[in-house]
Chains A and B, each alone.
Chain A
């Protein structure tokens, strides 16, 4: 927990040292949260070859992190329905700030920096008003909360920024309340209506896509963005895990409807109607989803064709790696898929959590 005292020390230190860059944190290419053998949760920085370059302890299980575009600073979000997020100095391992969600809101686990890294945008559940919102925090004002805007859907989960500054938001559609089932009970499955929403850089809704009615149980959760603006989204089905339903879609702004993709029947059923993470490959020629419940990776071409599958028990995190993918599992392994699986790094006792966050390539 950050006390006022060490907060001040941190602020003082920050004002005295020259501006640090990600190189000062060992030039990580990825961030990932994990639980170690002793049960301690931490945020890790991984090099481009998946070696651990830093570790910062966290007070509890994390979900994803937002990486500052230039400074060695990451915001680690508590798992839903967590109300705190920690700004971590990845160069010295110090927690610089603790963000507290305002009353009636909690974090959803994802966020993104805008305006050169000065504004942090966080996805939040405004459970008091039963709607989704985006919280805005200003880094140059010690991460003060400077406002909030509508996410245009219940249950905003992942958020990404396209290269032109447009935001894309996965509104998962599921309403939860921290007082019910520890904040994880799903309270509106009959009426849930997930959507993919595009917001301009000044947070005006520019485009929104809903799935057909028979797919209204497909909660759009996670996003991947291609350099050329193509958006991949991963879904989690809120029905029977043996239903054979699409779990991945592609959309480009302006297109009338998203392209939904499926593997052949048996492979599709093996995903247990659940996609954990999504990423484009490093070459940008295809994209893939993982399913921790099915222990699988499914790859698709950009025209929607199923390309192939790989099996790995408890596979969850996914990010671009060289020309292929980097995956992480709950048993400490980081694997390259290109397309065959190859273990790059394996730390016994470490359980990599849901996601891998890839950092922008830095000079």
Chain B
């Protein structure tokens, strides 16, 4: 299978399916269609394009300084997609293969060091590299190679240079595969658009498909509040700034902002009408996050600084109620029953 070409045929087909169904599509089917066509497919496409650009840049010139702009563009594109942890992104834990975080045991530097020391030949074979530890793959392995002093001192032609090229290429292959799975003829996009029809074994109703997408909206925001903000916050006595996501590349705050922007876009796209209250809160979250002006979230170590960061998380939590009112209730969907409250 050729994963590198984005299937526009599939995309066109998805459009055809939509047109065929539009006449009788109810509000839930329409919401699914808006999300697939207006949110998900543009996001997977952009991520595939930006990682392809990163791959090409890396094969050209692999040094840290040369690659950082393309790296940031690829990471930005991932932030527009990471909340959609379903279908091909969920399968085989691709989400963690792309973004291995949190790395609680410091596996990434250990794994990279081991590879460099052993001069592991997997870097010269894309097929082999696709089977190395996920700690050595994806955006966070690249972050170490491009930003951490222990790894950045390499030149064109060094083993580390080949390692960076292998990670970039592997990432773009994964992204291309995800895009192709979303857009191909019988792909995940079609599965969602066909929910409730005889062709769909996965989703027996439009409600199920929409429910899945709605859950991604809610868990995406919860992840940002609990993980991206909660981890570095730690406790008042013991703040943990070094637990912030992507602080090495100075992207900790940027990732929070981009994840909220992605959720905002998903909310607006899914909502049957302008979700006024949701937008009020999420825009307030974004304004407060921008105002932190603290790329690495180092300010969590300061009592006043952490208060401001905490407020951002609290406002994100507050948006969940607004989303339930603005979007969940009119569309007849709610967050997971067991996921939030097991036993």
* Alpha-carbon distance between A346 and B200 when the two chains are bound, in angstroms: 13
Instruction: Answer yes or no: A124 CB below 8 A from chain B CBs.
Output: no
Q: Are B338 and A343 in contact (CB under 8 A)?
A: no
Residues in chain B near residue A240, CB distance under 8 A? 104
Given contacts A242-B104, A243-B104, contact A314 B207 (CB under 8 A): no
Q: Are B96 and A269 in contact (CB under 8 A)?
A: yes
Q: Are A313 and B343 in contact (CB under 8 A)?
A: no
Q: Flag the segment in B37-45, B85-93, B176-184, B299-307 that touches A.
A: B85-93
Instruction: Answer yes or no: B102 CB below 8 A from chain A CBs.
Output: yes
Question: From residue 306 to 352 of chain A, which have CB atoms closer than 8 A to chain B?
Answer: 309, 311, 313-316, 329-333, 340-343, 346, 348-349, 351-352
Residues in chain B near residue A242, CB distance under 8 A? 102, 104, 227
Residues in chain B near residue A274, CB distance under 8 A? 342
Question: From residue 112 to 166 of chain B, which have CB atoms closer than 8 A to chain A?
Answer: 133-135
Residues in chain B near residue A314, CB distance under 8 A? 215, 336-339
Instruction: Answer yes or no: A217 CB below 8 A from chain B CBs.
Output: no
Q: Are B201 and A342 in contact (CB under 8 A)?
A: yes
Q: Are B338 and A266 in contact (CB under 8 A)?
A: no
Q: Are A341 and B202 in contact (CB under 8 A)?
A: yes
Q: Which of A236, A266, A346 contacts B134 (CB 8 A)?
A: A266
Count residues on chain B whose CB falls below 8 Å from chain A CBs: 32
Instruction: Answer yes or no: B208 CB below 8 A from chain A CBs.
Output: yes
Given contacts A269-B93, A333-B208, contact A293 B339 (CB under 8 A): yes
Q: Encode contact with B along A281-296: 1 for CB under 8 Å, 0 otherwise.
A: 0000000000011010
Closest A residue to B138 by CB, please name it.
Answer: A266
| Interface core residue of A109, A330, A349, A352 (most chain B CB under 10 Å) | A330
Q: Which of B104, B212, B227, B342 contacts A313 (CB 8 A)?
A: B212
Instruction: Answer yes or no: A265 CB below 8 A from chain B CBs.
Output: yes
Q: Are B338 and A354 in contact (CB under 8 A)?
A: yes
Instruction: Answer yes or no: B97 CB below 8 A from chain A CBs.
Output: yes
Chain A contact-residue range equals 35 or more
Q: Which of B93, B135, B201, B211 contacts A343 (CB 8 A)?
A: B201
Instruction: Answer yes or no: B204 CB below 8 A from chain A CBs.
Output: yes
Residues in chain A near residue B134, CB distance under 8 A? 265-266
Residues in chain A near residue B202, CB distance under 8 A? 341, 343
Q: Are B338 and A330 in contact (CB under 8 A)?
A: yes
Given contacts A240-B104, A266-B96, A266-B97, contact A346 B338 (CB under 8 A): no
Instruction: Answer yes or no: A125 CB below 8 A from chain B CBs.
Output: no
Instruction: Answer yes or no: B72 CB below 8 A from chain A CBs.
Output: no
Q: How far is the CB of A218 from chain B (nearest CB, A)?
A: 15
Given contacts A63-B343, A79-B343, contact A330 B92 (CB under 8 A): no
Q: Encode contact with B along A102-138: 1 for CB under 8 Å, 0 otherwise.
A: 0000000100000000000000000000000000000
Q: Are A353 and B338 in contact (CB under 8 A)?
A: yes
Closest A residue to B101 by CB, please name it.
Answer: A242
Instruction: Answer yes or no: A21 CB below 8 A from chain B CBs.
Output: no
* Alpha-carbon distance between A313 and B202 when the two chains are bound, in angstroms: 12
Q: Are B204 and A354 in contact (CB under 8 A)?
A: no
Q: Are B336 and A292 in contact (CB under 8 A)?
A: yes
* Alpha-carbon distance between A221 and B91 when the two chains are bound, in angstroms: 27
Residues in chain A near residue B204, CB distance under 8 A? 333, 343, 346
Q: Are A311 and B91 in contact (CB under 8 A)?
A: yes
Q: Encode contact with A along B69-113: 1 for CB under 8 Å, 0 otherwise.
A: 000000000000000001000111101110010101000000000
* Alpha-carbon distance between A359 and B100 when the two chains are bound, in angstroms: 42
Closest A residue to B105 by CB, please name it.
Answer: A244
Residues in chain B near residue A109, CB distance under 8 A? 343
Q: Are B205 and A348 in contact (CB under 8 A)?
A: yes
Besides A63-B343, A293-B339, A314-B215, 13 other CB < 8 A contacts? A35-B337, A80-B343, A221-B343, A242-B102, A265-B133, A266-B96, A270-B90, A292-B339, A292-B342, A315-B338, A341-B202, A343-B203, A354-B343
Interface CB pairs A-B, < 8 A, 5: A266-B93, A269-B93, A292-B339, A311-B86, A343-B204
Top 8 nearest A-B pairs by Cβ distance?
A330-B337, A266-B93, A292-B338, A314-B336, A351-B337, A316-B338, A346-B204, A266-B96
